[in-house]
Structure 1
Amino acid sequence: MEKHTVIRVEHLSKKFNNESALKDLNFSVHSGEIFGFLGPSGSGKTTTIKILTGQLVQTSGKAMVLGKPVEQINESIYEQVGIVTDNSGIYERMTVYSNMKFFANILDVEKERIDFLLTRVGLFEHKDKIASKLSKGMAQRLVLARALLHQPKVLFLDEPTSGLDPSTALAVHELLSELKGNGTAIFLTTHNMDEATKLCDNVALLNDGIIVEHGTPKALSLKYNKDKSYQIVLKGEKEFTLPHSDDTAKKINQWITNNELVTIHSTEPTLERVFIELTGRELL
């Protein structure tokens, strides 16, 4: 499947009362790509999504979504976009199914897709429950299912698995991977670096409104792998951490020959460790 640019951002900045929330952002997102926009709370992630979806106007710079400047986003663009944020909102007096049916009618989506999506996010058995009675995690799943009704070309996800239990989060991850495989571009904001490492093709690390690093998760981990070493477990649960050296190579070869080696892992830093090294900040 040929990929094309779905989001393009050039020198994007945003100020609130002369305080800079975003500073000279540059990046692009392609069809069939999960792009992680990563950083702690208050770093500018949600502000970026609001600009890209026409909810806020940038102070300077350019941003394009599906070939249109964000200042010109209209109904035809919204019909191709899905948005999941904390304030996406649901109709609390309606049932889960009625919420989905209401938007399916607006978007001219066949009703069969409602059952499919509610099943995928684990809400089918709760489809007759009043939305106000849902837990935070269940409400988040409903918002996600609603955003996927019309099979959008670009999906904006702001902390999509926040509050979800591990099994439901895994189901959401599988659904996002399917969407990516079908050509949807997914713009994912999160401070969960483990989630980003599993899901994202490319990431940008954001701190105080500035992109401090970008690339694939693996490339960034390897780039900042300054002290190469190996974690080794031998039979009898003997554990070692050994440096990258000729002597270590000889030992590993001997353990393999003697069938003593159980596991061996390289110790490149996680995305979270890379972020902390670059910024000195913990992810909260």
Structure 2
Amino acid sequence: MIKVSNLTYVYDKSDHKAVDDVSFEVEKGEVFGFLGPSGAGKSTTQGILTGLLPIQGGEGSVAGHDLRKISSEMFNSIGVSFEQSNVYGKLTALENLEFYRKLFDTDTMDPMELLKLVGLDHVSKKRASTFSKGMKHRLTFARSMLNKPEIWFLDEPTTGLDPAIGNQIKDIIKEKNKEGTTIFLTTHNMFIADELCHRVGFIVDGKLRLIDSPKNLKLKYGEKMIDIEYREDDRSIKETLSIIEDNDRQRLRSIIDKGEILTMHTKEATLEEIFIKVTGRGLV
């Protein structure tokens, strides 16, 4: 569904390559996470894939459409939810969606159903200028689903949302993927990537460092640990021990033999810890 080869992009008056020789493919029905800190090249890559930025170097296609020859047919096939909401403040929530649906030459969803899906049906007749940042973000998210996209580009879809609404958005993403929608997710939030993505790509300073599934990355780079809490001399003690290192394994056996175990569970490395290990960079 998405294929790019040797993608390169440099902004005007800059010697730095925002995207530097990036190549990858996204299969139909896949949730692909594009992960990296601010300024890594995530949004620039998404801009090229959605036709907002021209290809300067390399080549690519989205839903079978050549990115060097952008056509209206491609825009009928994709949906884009931007991190920065760009709704029309003087229009109501419903008017925003009604206006936007007229731009497509394809079947569209009912705007009221979409507003209900994201919890905005009760403010459908209120101007978007009166909305909070989170409400505007949900309206932008709803708008991106109007044309029933084959490929759905999501840029930080849960940013600025409270946990309950964030979980609601994640459930919608999961459901759309079950229905067959291919999803390209750009984020620096490793927790949402771990939960939603079949594969992830790590990008830093415009370069794509690796691509793999979260599970494989944890098996390859994550050290297996155990959190154990036990009672000793009327005290409750907690330790985190490696089940790979010999000294820690001996320590664990000693605790099991001598102490009263209160709790014990395995602990795996997070994607964020693996990202730092692989790239040498944090996510800020």
Structure 2 length-normalised TM:
0.87
Which residue of the partner structure matches residue 282 of structure 1?
282
Which residue of the partner structure matches residue 175 of structure 2?
178
Does residue 46 of structure 1 match 2:46? no
**In structure 2, do the counterparts of structure 1 residues 270 and 105 end up closer, same or farther at CA, with 3 Å as the change threshold?**
same
Conserved? CA contact 1:202–1:216, under 8 Å = yes
**In structure 2, do the counterparts of structure 1 residues 65 and 237 end up closer, same or farther at CA, with 3 Å as the change threshold?**
farther
Equivalent residue for 2:99, pick from 89, 102, 108: 102
Residue type at the aligned position of 1:58: I
Does residue 84 of structure 1 match 2:115? no
Conserved? CA contact 1:217–1:271, under 8 Å = yes
Does residue 231 of structure 1 match 2:232? no
Structure 1 CA distance for aligned equivalents of residues 173 and 255 of structure 2: 39
Conserved? CA contact 2:22–2:207, under 8 Å = yes
Residue type at the aligned position of 2:270: T
Equivalent residue for 1:9, pick from 1, 4, 13: 4
Which residue of the partner structure matches residue 154 of structure 2?
157
2:115 alignment partner, SS class: helix
**How far does residue 247 in structure 1 lie from its aligned partner after superposition?**
4.0
Structure 1 CA distance for aligned equivalents of residues 156 and 230 of structure 2: 39
Which residue of the partner structure matches residue 243 of structure 1?
242
**How far does residue 232 in structure 1 lie from its aligned partner after superposition?**
2.1
Does residue 132 of structure 1 match 2:133? no
**In structure 2, do the counterparts of structure 1 residues 72 and 252 end up closer, same or farther at CA, with 3 Å as the change threshold?**
farther
Structure 2 CA distance for aligned equivalents of residues 252 and 150 of structure 1: 59
Structure 2 CA distance for aligned equivalents of residues 237 and 11 of structure 1: 56
Cα RMSD over matched residues? 2.4
2:38 alignment partner, SS class: coil
Structure 2 CA distance for aligned equivalents of residues 206 and 128 of structure 1: 41
Does residue 264 of structure 1 match 2:245? no
Conserved? CA contact 1:234–1:262, under 8 Å = yes
Equivalent residue for 2:112, pick from 112, 115, 122: 115
**In structure 2, do the counterparts of structure 1 residues 73 and 96 end up closer, same or farther at CA, with 3 Å as the change threshold?**
same
Conserved? CA contact 2:108–2:147, under 8 Å = no
**How far does residue 252 in structure 1 lie from its aligned partner after superposition?**
8.6
**In structure 2, do the counterparts of structure 1 residues 252 and 179 end up closer, same or farther at CA, with 3 Å as the change threshold?**
farther
Structure 1 CA distance for aligned equivalents of residues 225 and 178 of structure 2: 35
**How far does residue 73 in structure 1 lie from its aligned partner after superposition?**
2.2
**How far does residue 118 in structure 1 lie from its aligned partner after superposition?**
1.2
Structure 1 length-normalised TM:
0.87
Does residue 148 of structure 1 match 2:158? no
